[in-house]
Amino acid sequence: MGAGAIKPPLAGAAMGALSGFIDFTALGLLIGGTETVLPDTRLGKRLERAPFLATFALKLLLYGAIIVAVIGGRLGPLAVLSIVGPEGAQPLQAEVEAKVPLGVLIPVAFLVTGFLLLLDQLRQLVGGRTLRNIVLGRYHRARSEERFFLFVDVIGSTALAERLGPVAVNRFLDRVFRIASDPVDDHRGEVYQYVGDEMVITWTALDGRPQARPLACFFAIEAALARAGDEFRRDYGALPRLRGALHAGPVITGEVGGSRRAIVFHGDVMNTSSRLENATRDLSRGFLCSGDALSRIDGAAAYALEDLGLQQLRGREAPVRVYSVSKS
C-alpha cells in the first residue's frame, strides 16, 4: 500500500512513530557503543580519573553533539522518506515536524540522556547492586542471608609509601583497584568497601556458588594486574602483589545511616574473613580459603587445594579448617 493511501492524521502518527523509533534506536546504538568503547581509550581513562561533575559534563556535551546530529539532522524522517518515497512522505513529514518540533525533541533527548548519565555515575560511586538495592528497598528491613567475603590485600604498600610518598601510593592503589573492578564485575561480585590497601568483595551464596566464582575472581584480578605490569614498573618501579582470603557464612544485611544510606553486613563471618587474611602472613600463603567457603562453591576441584588443617585464628576461640588455594 502506498503512502498516499494512508490519510492523515493516521499516516502522520505512523510516520512520527517510525521516525522516532529510528532516531532513538540510532541514539541508543551510538551512545551505547561509545560507552562500551570509550573506557578503553586514552580519553576514557582520563575521564575515569576526572572529578564527578567534570566527567558528567564532558559526557553530556559529547552525547549532546550526537543528539543534535541525529535528531537535528532529521535522521528518522529522512530514513522514512527513503523507505516510503518522496511523493507520499513529504506532506506527512511537514505535518510531523509541525506537531513535534526540534525545540521539543532535542531538550527531551538531552534530559533523558542526562538522567541516564547521572544514574550511571551514581552507579559507579556506590556500586550497581548497592544502588539498585537501596532504590528497591531490598534491605530496608534487615535480613539474614548466606554470603561469601573475599578479602584482597595489596602487599608492600607501606614500603612503597616510604619510597614514593603517600600521594604516589594513592595513585598506585587507585590503579590497582580500577584494574580489579573488571574481574569483579565479570565474576558477578560486588565491591563492599575499600579499607586502606585492602578491598572487600562479596557474593550472595547463589551468585558465588557457580564455577567457584570467588576463587576465579581472585586469580583473574592477579592476571589483570600482571598484564598491566609494564605500566606499574614504568610509573612506580614496583609490581602489585596480592594476598587473599575467602570465607562464607550467615550475615545480617541491612540499610543503616541517615543523611548517607549504606548497606552493611554484620556477623562473625566478617571478622573471621579478616582474621583469615591476617593468617596468610603467619602461614606464608598467598591465598587462603576456609572449609566453610569451599563447602558452598561448585568447581573448586579446578584449583590446587592444600589442606592446612584446623587453624587457631587470632581472636577466635574455635579453630577453622583452612586450605591454601593456587592455580592447578
Q: What are the residue ranges spanned by the domains of the chain?
A: 3-126, 128-327
Structure confidence at residue 97 (pLDDT): 53
Q: What gap in Å lies between CA 203 and CA 82, rounded to an integer?
A: 51
Predicted local confidence at residue 68, as pLDDT: 74
- Which stretches in the chain have pLDDT values below 70? 1-20, 40, 45, 49, 71-105, 125-127
Query: Over the stretch 187-242, which tens digit does the pLDDT of each residue have?
Result: 999 999 999 899 999 999 999 999 999 999 999 999 999 999 999 999 998 899 99
Round to whole Å and give the CA distance between 210 and 273: 21
Of 51, 154, 59, 67, the C-alpha closest to 104 is: 67
* pLDDT recorded at residue 284: 92
Structure confidence at residue 2 (pLDDT): 45
pLDDT number for residue 325 = 96
Mention every residue, 6+ apart, whose C-beta is less than 8 A from residue 177.
194, 199
pLDDT at 6: 46
According to DSSP H, which parts of the chain are helical?
Answer: 10-37, 42-49, 52-67, 75-84, 86-99, 102-126, 128-136, 157-164, 166-186, 205-208, 213-227, 229-236, 268-282, 291-294
Residue 262: per-residue pLDDT:
79
Distances (CA, A) of 321 to 4, 192, 214, 242, 281: 79, 25, 18, 22, 17
Count of CB atoms within 10 A of residue 97's CB? Answer: 15
Given this structure, which CATH class describes domain 128-327?
A: alpha beta
Measured from the Cβ of residue 170, the count of other Cβ atoms closer than 10 Å reads 12
Question: Which pLDDT tens digit goes with each residue over 172-194?
Answer: 999 999 999 999 999 999 999 99
For residue 16, give the C-alpha cell: 512520527
Given a contact cutoff of 8 angstroms between Cβ atoms, the answer to whether 173 and 261 are in contact is: no
Burial class (CB in 10 A: 0-12, 13-18, 19+), 278: middle
Is the pTM higher than 0.75? The answer reads: no
Q: Distance between terminal CA atoms of the chain?
A: 66
